[in-house]
Amino acid sequence: MDSTKLSDSNDRPPSERSPNATNLAFAQRGRALPARTLIYPLLLTQLPNQPMQLLTAMTWDRITDGKLRETLTTWLEEGGQIRPITERLGVHRNTLNNRLKQIEQLIGAPLTHHMAHQLKLGLDWQRANPATNVTRMPSSSGA
Protein backbone atom coordinates (compact mmCIF):
# COMPACT_ATOMS: atom_id res chain seq x y z
CA MET A 1 0.00 0.00 0.00
CA ASP A 2 1.28 3.46 -0.87
CA SER A 3 2.29 5.36 2.28
CA THR A 4 1.50 8.68 0.54
CA LYS A 5 -2.16 7.70 0.30
CA LEU A 6 -2.22 6.87 4.00
CA SER A 7 -0.70 10.19 5.01
CA ASP A 8 -3.09 12.04 2.68
CA SER A 9 -6.08 10.38 4.34
CA ASN A 10 -4.64 11.27 7.77
CA ASP A 11 -4.55 14.95 6.80
CA ARG A 12 -8.33 15.00 6.31
CA PRO A 13 -10.68 15.48 9.27
CA PRO A 14 -11.97 12.19 10.78
CA SER A 15 -15.47 12.83 9.42
CA GLU A 16 -14.11 12.74 5.86
CA ARG A 17 -11.95 9.64 6.26
CA SER A 18 -13.09 6.18 5.30
CA PRO A 19 -13.33 3.75 8.24
CA ASN A 20 -10.40 1.73 6.86
CA ALA A 21 -8.25 4.85 6.48
CA THR A 22 -9.04 5.85 10.05
CA ASN A 23 -8.21 2.34 11.29
CA LEU A 24 -4.94 2.36 9.37
CA ALA A 25 -4.06 5.77 10.81
CA PHE A 26 -4.59 4.40 14.34
CA ALA A 27 -2.51 1.33 13.49
CA GLN A 28 0.29 3.53 12.14
CA ARG A 29 0.43 5.44 15.42
CA GLY A 30 0.90 2.17 17.30
CA ARG A 31 -2.56 1.98 18.80
CA ALA A 32 -3.97 -1.50 19.13
CA LEU A 33 -7.14 -2.29 17.19
CA PRO A 34 -9.08 -5.54 17.15
CA ALA A 35 -8.32 -7.47 13.96
CA ARG A 36 -12.06 -7.49 13.17
CA THR A 37 -12.06 -3.69 13.11
CA LEU A 38 -9.22 -3.48 10.64
CA ILE A 39 -9.61 -6.55 8.42
CA TYR A 40 -13.20 -7.79 8.61
CA PRO A 41 -14.88 -4.84 6.80
CA LEU A 42 -12.35 -5.10 3.99
CA LEU A 43 -12.89 -8.85 3.70
CA LEU A 44 -16.65 -8.35 3.51
CA THR A 45 -16.31 -6.05 0.51
CA GLN A 46 -14.19 -8.67 -1.25
CA LEU A 47 -16.72 -11.52 -0.98
CA PRO A 48 -18.29 -12.51 -4.31
CA ASN A 49 -21.70 -10.89 -4.80
CA GLN A 50 -23.58 -13.89 -6.22
CA PRO A 51 -23.24 -16.30 -3.26
CA MET A 52 -23.74 -13.50 -0.76
CA GLN A 53 -26.87 -12.27 -2.54
CA LEU A 54 -28.14 -15.87 -2.49
CA LEU A 55 -27.43 -16.09 1.26
CA THR A 56 -29.30 -12.86 1.97
CA ALA A 57 -32.16 -13.88 -0.36
CA MET A 58 -32.57 -17.11 1.61
CA THR A 59 -32.46 -15.34 4.97
CA TRP A 60 -32.73 -11.57 5.45
CA ASP A 61 -34.82 -10.86 2.34
CA ARG A 62 -37.51 -13.23 3.62
CA ILE A 63 -37.92 -11.19 6.80
CA THR A 64 -39.80 -8.08 5.70
CA ASP A 65 -41.42 -7.17 9.03
CA GLY A 66 -39.38 -4.48 10.78
CA LYS A 67 -39.97 -5.88 14.27
CA LEU A 68 -38.81 -9.34 13.20
CA ARG A 69 -35.69 -7.89 11.56
CA GLU A 70 -34.93 -5.89 14.71
CA THR A 71 -35.52 -9.00 16.83
CA LEU A 72 -33.16 -11.09 14.72
CA THR A 73 -30.48 -8.41 14.69
CA THR A 74 -30.72 -8.07 18.48
CA TRP A 75 -30.67 -11.87 18.86
CA LEU A 76 -27.41 -11.96 16.90
CA GLU A 77 -25.86 -9.03 18.77
CA GLU A 78 -26.74 -10.52 22.16
CA GLY A 79 -25.59 -14.03 21.26
CA GLY A 80 -29.06 -15.48 21.76
CA GLN A 81 -29.17 -14.52 25.46
CA ILE A 82 -32.87 -14.15 26.31
CA ARG A 83 -32.74 -11.61 29.15
CA PRO A 84 -30.60 -8.98 27.34
CA ILE A 85 -32.69 -9.38 24.20
CA THR A 86 -36.01 -8.90 26.00
CA GLU A 87 -34.61 -5.90 27.89
CA ARG A 88 -33.30 -4.24 24.73
CA LEU A 89 -36.49 -4.85 22.80
CA GLY A 90 -38.79 -4.13 25.73
CA VAL A 91 -40.80 -7.31 25.17
CA HIS A 92 -41.88 -10.27 27.28
CA ARG A 93 -40.00 -13.56 26.97
CA ASN A 94 -43.04 -15.18 25.31
CA THR A 95 -43.21 -12.40 22.72
CA LEU A 96 -39.54 -12.97 21.94
CA ASN A 97 -40.05 -16.72 21.59
CA ASN A 98 -43.02 -16.16 19.27
CA ARG A 99 -40.98 -13.78 17.09
CA LEU A 100 -38.08 -16.22 16.92
CA LYS A 101 -40.47 -19.00 15.83
CA GLN A 102 -41.85 -16.72 13.12
CA ILE A 103 -38.31 -16.00 11.92
CA GLU A 104 -37.52 -19.73 11.81
CA GLN A 105 -40.63 -20.31 9.71
CA LEU A 106 -39.71 -17.50 7.32
CA ILE A 107 -36.15 -18.67 6.75
CA GLY A 108 -37.08 -22.35 6.84
CA ALA A 109 -34.41 -23.30 9.37
CA PRO A 110 -33.93 -23.37 13.14
CA LEU A 111 -31.95 -20.57 14.75
CA THR A 112 -28.90 -22.60 15.68
CA HIS A 113 -25.32 -21.53 16.36
CA HIS A 114 -24.43 -22.48 12.77
CA MET A 115 -27.33 -20.45 11.37
CA ALA A 116 -26.32 -17.49 13.54
CA HIS A 117 -22.94 -17.40 11.80
CA GLN A 118 -24.59 -17.37 8.38
CA LEU A 119 -27.09 -14.70 9.40
CA LYS A 120 -24.36 -12.52 10.90
CA LEU A 121 -22.23 -12.87 7.78
CA GLY A 122 -25.18 -11.92 5.59
CA LEU A 123 -26.03 -8.94 7.80
CA ASP A 124 -22.44 -7.70 7.92
CA TRP A 125 -22.08 -8.16 4.16
CA GLN A 126 -25.24 -6.11 3.56
CA ARG A 127 -23.92 -3.35 5.80
CA ALA A 128 -20.53 -3.36 4.06
CA ASN A 129 -22.07 -3.39 0.56
CA PRO A 130 -25.16 -1.16 0.72
CA ALA A 131 -25.30 -0.69 -3.07
CA THR A 132 -25.97 -4.42 -3.57
CA ASN A 133 -29.04 -4.55 -1.31
CA VAL A 134 -32.57 -4.54 -2.57
CA THR A 135 -34.27 -4.72 0.83
CA ARG A 136 -33.90 -2.48 3.86
CA MET A 137 -31.20 -3.63 6.24
CA PRO A 138 -31.67 -3.64 9.99
CA SER A 139 -30.20 -0.53 11.55
CA SER A 140 -26.73 -0.78 12.95
CA SER A 141 -26.46 -0.43 16.68
CA GLY A 142 -22.76 -0.83 17.01
CA ALA A 143 -22.50 -4.40 15.73
pLDDT digits (tens, 9 = 90+) for 95-127: 999 999 999 999 999 999 999 999 999 999 999
Long-range contacts, stretch 76-83, CB < 8 angstroms, 24+ apart? 76/116, 76/119, 76/120, 76/123, 76/143, 77/141, 77/142, 77/143, 80/111, 80/116
Give the three-class secondary structure for 109: coil
pLDDT at 116: 96
State pTM to two decimals.
0.67
The continuous run of DSSP H or E covering 128 comes out as helix 113-128
**pLDDT tens-digit map of 44-76:** 888 999 999 999 999 999 999 999 999 999 999
Q: Is the pLDDT of residue 16 over 90?
A: no
Give the C-alpha separation, 120 to 25, whole Å: 27
pLDDT at 34: 58
